[in-house]
């Protein structure tokens, strides 16, 4: 991959896209392009075609998606399946029609069955039922994976899908109505600390196990896929290590220096009991994560504190 190759990063303002842009720039890539959602609606097929015709990207990295946690997926199922399919279909098809030879599609570990054996291997895809709380997003992402596989098989193009575990880090979403579990906990513990160490109410029992990857490590995995022709169509990206939600809460409580009570609301859903990724395929190729969880949470909390003025007030 030449340093002046024209690389289009869809979703470059988001947490993942901005990390990819930052890492690529640091590695000397000089021809990165991106456009904000207000200037290019990726759900609009003709607009996407016009953008590709004008810019002529050589490589496309799809980090654009409508994302959210259990609450958002539950409340807006139609938007989660339809908007994600519109975004990725427009990008994948336009890239194919435009002669883009390399496409990196980013998905999520939620594509795997709810009760699949642990750790999750790539070959478990489509072997059983999905987790109901995020099946709409998962189904959309599965269609993207299979579309890239079809293009790879039929046209021999280097289209590859990377499935990250739960991502977190700088530029994360801390809105409690739509955020994922780790940034939501940072927000809740911080705000409770500022409110005389008020109790923090968390969803579920705290027993499900989750794996978390710092976003810069995800960006490094994308660069690895960019600079190498990976032999298969689908790869898991994670740490291969997990912990309970209760352990995560205690770690975040310590880092944010909250000294109040944690209350578990067991009337709320837990989601999938466990989601640990088998990352042996990426390890065998030479990629491995570098940032450990505590260090990553600390970096994320520092960024949160530096940008706290941008976030909406939360009613305690």
* Residue 166 in marked binding region: yes
* Residue 204 in marked binding region: no
* Residue 164 in marked binding region: yes
* Residue 108 in marked binding region: yes
Going from the C-alpha of 206 to that of each of 23, 110, 202, 263, the distances in angstroms are 34, 19, 8, 10
* Residue 210 in marked binding region: yes
Helix (H), strand (E) at residue 51: helix 45-55
Among 7, 137, 158, 25, smallest CA distance to 74 is for 137
Going from the C-alpha of 267 to that of each of 114, 202, 204, 264, the distances in angstroms are 20, 11, 7, 9
Count the residues in the chain: 316
Q: Indicate the burial class of 148 (C-beta count within 10 angstroms; 0-12, 13-18, 19 or more).
A: buried
* Residue 106 in marked binding region: yes
* Residue 180 in marked binding region: yes
* Residue 43 in marked binding region: no
Report the DSSP beta bridge partners of residue 12.
none
* Residue 136 in marked binding region: no
* Residue 170 in marked binding region: no
Close Cβ partners of 94 (under 8 Å, ≥ 6 residues apart): 45, 48, 49, 52
* Residue 206 in marked binding region: no
Determine the Cα–Cα distance for residues 214 and 275; give it in Å rounded to an integer: 16
* Antiparallel, parallel or unpaired: β 7-10 and 32-33: parallel
What is the Cα gyration radius of the chain?
19
* Residue 13 in marked binding region: yes
* Residue 11 in marked binding region: yes
Output DSSP code: residue 157.
-
Identify whether 137 is a catalytic site residue. Answer: yes
* Residue 167 in marked binding region: yes
Q: Which of 8, 51, 137, 235 is catalytic?
A: 137
* Residue 254 in marked binding region: no
Q: Indicate the burial class of 112 (C-beta count within 10 angstroms; 0-12, 13-18, 19 or more).
A: buried
Binding-site annotation, residues for NADP(+): 11-17, 106-109, 141, 164-167, 180
- Indicate the annotated binding residues for substrate: 188, 203, 210, 270
Residue numbers belonging to the annotated binding site? 11-17, 106-109, 141, 164-167, 180, 188, 203, 210, 270
Residues labelled catalytic: 137
């Amino acid at each position: 991959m030449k340093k002046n190759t024209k690389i289009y990063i869809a979703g470059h303002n988001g947490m993942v896209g901005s990390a990819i842009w930052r890492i690529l720039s640091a590695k000397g890539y000089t021809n990165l392009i991106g456009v904000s959602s207000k200037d290019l609606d990726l759900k609009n097929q003709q607009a996407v075609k016009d953008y590709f015709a004008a810019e002529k990207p050589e490589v496309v990295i799809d980090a654009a998606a409508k994302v959210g946690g259990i609450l958002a997926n539950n409340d807006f199922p139609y938007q989660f399946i339809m908007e994600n399919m519109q975004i990725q279909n427009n990008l994948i098809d336009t890239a194919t029609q435009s002669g883009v030879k390399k496409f990196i599609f980013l998905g999520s570990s939620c594509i795997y069955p709810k009760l699949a054996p642990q750790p999750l291997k790539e070959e478990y895809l489509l072997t059983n039922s999905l987790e109901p709380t995020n099946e709409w997003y998962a189904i959309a992402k599965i269609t993207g994976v299979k579309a890239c596989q079809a293009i790879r098989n039929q046209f021999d193009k280097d289209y590859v899908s990377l499935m990250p575990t739960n991502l977190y880090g700088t530029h994360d979403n801390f809105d409690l109505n739509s955020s994922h579990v780790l940034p939501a906990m940072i927000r809740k513990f911080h705000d409770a600390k500022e409110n005389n160490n008020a109790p923090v109410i968390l969803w579920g029992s705290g027993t499900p196990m989750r794996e978390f990857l710092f976003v810069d490590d995800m960006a490094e995995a994308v660069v690895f896929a960019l600079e190498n022709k990976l032999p298969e169509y689908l790869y898991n990206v994670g740490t291969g290590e997990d912990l309970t939600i209760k352990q995560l809460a205690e770690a975040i409580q310590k880092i944010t220096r909250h000294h109040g009570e944690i209350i578990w609301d067991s009337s709320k859903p837990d989601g999938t009991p466990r989601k640990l990724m088998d990352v042996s395929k990426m390890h065998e190729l030479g990629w491995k994560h570098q940032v450990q969880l505590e260090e990553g949470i600390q970096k994320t909390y520092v960024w949160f504190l530096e940008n706290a003025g941008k976030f909406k007030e939360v009613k305690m």
